[in-house]
Amino acid sequence: MIRVMITDDHLIVREGLRLILETADGIELVGEAKDGAECLELVKKLNPQVILMDLQMPRMDGITAIEHLRKDYPEIAIVILTTYNEDDLMIRGLQSGARGYLLKDSSRENLIDTIHAAAKGETLLKPEILARVLSSKTSVKKEAATQTESILTERELEVLQLASLGERNKEIAYKLGITERTVKAHLQSIYQKFGVDSRAAAVAIVAQKGMLKE
């Protein structure tokens, strides 16, 4: 029996996964967490072999949680749960030590296969994804900032990065655990610093400066 834990902020996703996992042979669902912080709290008690980890969550996101887990529980296999294909966050997650990824609309077989593979220490990645991971820079942490980057505050960068993935203010607010109004405030500040007046223009600048890539 493979001990599996779920970390996802969406109730529906958790329920759906539970339904699938509880009826799968050789898999035991040992617990669930609603965000990265809760995941770290519960992991010792639940002692999972595999963690299905969402990336975008309030309080503590999946990337941060993965980094902590790699340090404290390197033997646990982490599988990223993501909505979109080729998500930059997913790349970062894989760089941080996740062992695979799953689209949230994966088939039941795909899901179960991936969990088994992760438990056995294998990595299941599409080749093109693997190539992207290997070719992109390893250091995820902040480093010598470029001109544009240094102008922005940490929070503004977070907001801008989500906006650059096409997220709406409402979604950004939810993911950062703040109100939509605050998101707008950060965006306004960003626009001022960039000398633009629309999110599309800001995203374009970010894209051209290469702030998205890496």
Partner DNA sequence: CGCCATATTGTCCATTTGGACAATGTACTA
Partner DNA sequence: TAGTACATTGTCCAAATGGACAATATGGCG
The encoded tokens of residue 180 equal 């939509």
Question: Helical H runs in 96-198?
Answer: 108-119, 127-135, 147-151, 154-163, 169-176, 180-194
170 binds its own copies (CB under 8 A): no
159 binds its own copies (CB under 8 A): no
d(CA 158, CA 58): 13
* 207 CB-near residues (< 8 Å, 6+ apart): 164
Q: Which does 114 bind (CB under 5 to 8 A by kind): its own copies, DNA, none?
A: none
Side chain identity, residue 56: Q
* Cα pseudo-dihedral 151, 156, 157, 162, rounded to 10: -150
Minimum distance from residue 148 beta carbon to its own copies (Å): 11
Q: Residue 80's beta-bridge partner residues?
A: 53, 101
185 binds DNA (CB under 7 A): yes
187 binds DNA (CB under 7 A): yes
Task: Determine the interface stretch with DNA among 3-11, 121-129, 139-147, 177-185 (rule: CB under 7 A).
Answer: 177-185
Q: Which of 19, 120, 126, 166 binds its own copies (CB under 8 A)?
A: 166
Residues 63-102 vs its own copies: string with x where CB under 8 A?
A: -----------------------x-x--------------
Q: Residue 132: which of 78, 173, 94 has the closest Cα?
A: 94
Q: Which does 204 bind (CB under 5 to 8 A by kind): its own copies, DNA, none?
A: its own copies
d(CA 156, CA 202): 12
Q: Which of 14, 92, 99, 199 binds DNA (CB under 7 A)?
A: 199
User: 79-138: which residues touch DNA (CB under 7 A)?
Assistant: none
Question: Helical H runs in 50-97?
Answer: 62-72, 88-95
State which residue, 114 or 169, has the beta carbon closest to DNA: 169
Q: Do the Cβ atoms of 167 and 182 come closer than 8 Å?
A: no
State which residue, 114 or 169, has the beta carbon closest to its own copies: 169
What residues make contact with DNA under the rule CB under 7 A?
153-156, 168-170, 176, 178-179, 181-182, 184-188, 191, 197-200
What residues make contact with its own copies under the rule CB under 8 A?
86, 88, 163-168, 196, 198-208, 212-213
